[in-house]
Amino acid sequence: MCDHAHLSKLFDSKIVYCKDKCALKRLDEIRRKAAENLEENVEVFNQALNKYLAEYEKVGICPRHFESMTEYAEDYNKEISEEI
Protein backbone atom coordinates (compact mmCIF):
# COMPACT_ATOMS: atom_id res chain seq x y z
CA MET A 1 0.00 0.00 0.00
CA CYS A 2 1.30 3.41 -0.90
CA ASP A 3 0.96 6.09 1.78
CA HIS A 4 1.27 8.92 -0.75
CA ALA A 5 -2.05 9.51 -2.49
CA HIS A 6 -0.50 11.17 -5.55
CA LEU A 7 1.84 8.20 -6.13
CA SER A 8 -0.90 5.67 -5.46
CA LYS A 9 -3.02 7.30 -8.16
CA LEU A 10 -0.11 7.06 -10.60
CA PHE A 11 0.22 3.34 -9.96
CA ASP A 12 -3.51 2.71 -10.32
CA SER A 13 -4.21 5.00 -13.29
CA LYS A 14 -4.20 3.65 -16.81
CA ILE A 15 -3.95 7.12 -18.38
CA VAL A 16 -1.32 9.47 -16.97
CA TYR A 17 -0.08 12.77 -18.41
CA CYS A 18 3.70 12.93 -18.73
CA LYS A 19 5.23 16.15 -20.00
CA ASP A 20 8.01 14.41 -21.93
CA LYS A 21 9.66 11.07 -22.65
CA CYS A 22 11.95 11.46 -19.65
CA ALA A 23 8.97 11.74 -17.30
CA LEU A 24 7.28 8.76 -18.97
CA LYS A 25 10.46 6.72 -18.63
CA ARG A 26 10.67 7.63 -14.92
CA LEU A 27 7.02 6.65 -14.36
CA ASP A 28 7.58 3.30 -16.08
CA GLU A 29 10.66 2.71 -13.91
CA ILE A 30 8.71 3.51 -10.72
CA ARG A 31 5.89 1.17 -11.74
CA ARG A 32 8.34 -1.62 -12.60
CA LYS A 33 10.20 -1.25 -9.31
CA ALA A 34 6.93 -1.16 -7.34
CA ALA A 35 5.79 -4.38 -9.01
CA GLU A 36 9.14 -6.06 -8.22
CA ASN A 37 8.97 -4.96 -4.58
CA LEU A 38 5.41 -6.22 -4.26
CA GLU A 39 6.34 -9.58 -5.75
CA GLU A 40 9.30 -9.91 -3.35
CA ASN A 41 7.07 -9.08 -0.38
CA VAL A 42 4.48 -11.63 -1.47
CA GLU A 43 7.17 -14.32 -1.70
CA VAL A 44 8.49 -13.53 1.81
CA PHE A 45 4.94 -13.57 3.19
CA ASN A 46 4.16 -16.90 1.51
CA GLN A 47 7.32 -18.48 2.94
CA ALA A 48 6.41 -17.34 6.46
CA LEU A 49 2.81 -18.49 6.04
CA ASN A 50 3.92 -21.93 4.89
CA LYS A 51 6.16 -22.27 7.97
CA TYR A 52 3.25 -21.41 10.27
CA LEU A 53 0.90 -23.79 8.45
CA ALA A 54 3.46 -26.61 8.79
CA GLU A 55 3.77 -25.96 12.53
CA TYR A 56 -0.01 -25.89 12.93
CA GLU A 57 -0.25 -29.21 11.12
CA LYS A 58 2.37 -30.75 13.44
CA VAL A 59 0.24 -30.01 16.50
CA GLY A 60 -3.08 -30.86 14.87
CA ILE A 61 -4.49 -27.36 14.44
CA CYS A 62 -6.54 -26.84 11.30
CA PRO A 63 -6.49 -23.14 10.39
CA ARG A 64 -9.59 -21.61 8.87
CA HIS A 65 -9.51 -19.78 5.55
CA PHE A 66 -11.64 -16.80 4.58
CA GLU A 67 -12.31 -15.29 1.16
CA SER A 68 -12.29 -11.73 2.48
CA MET A 69 -11.81 -9.61 5.57
CA THR A 70 -15.58 -9.13 5.66
CA GLU A 71 -16.12 -12.88 5.87
CA TYR A 72 -13.49 -13.10 8.64
CA ALA A 73 -15.07 -10.23 10.62
CA GLU A 74 -18.55 -11.77 10.33
CA ASP A 75 -17.24 -15.13 11.56
CA TYR A 76 -15.31 -13.48 14.40
CA ASN A 77 -18.33 -11.44 15.51
CA LYS A 78 -20.52 -14.55 15.41
CA GLU A 79 -18.06 -16.42 17.67
CA ILE A 80 -17.85 -13.53 20.13
CA SER A 81 -21.65 -13.20 20.35
CA GLU A 82 -21.97 -16.97 20.97
CA GLU A 83 -19.48 -16.74 23.85
CA ILE A 84 -21.37 -13.91 25.52
How confident is the model over 20-59, as pLDDT tens digits?
A: 888 888 888 888 888 888 888 888 999 999 999 999 999 9
**10 and 33 in contact (C-beta within 8 Å)?**
no
Given a cut of 60, whether residue 2 has pLDDT beyond it is no
At 77, the pLDDT band (50, 70, 90 cuts) reads very high
Task: For residues 40 and 34, give the distance between their C-alpha atoms in angstroms, rounded to a whole number.
Answer: 10
Alpha-carbon separation of residue 69 from 31, 65, 66 (angstroms): 27, 10, 7
Dihedral Cα 46, 52, 58, 61, nearest 10 deg? -110
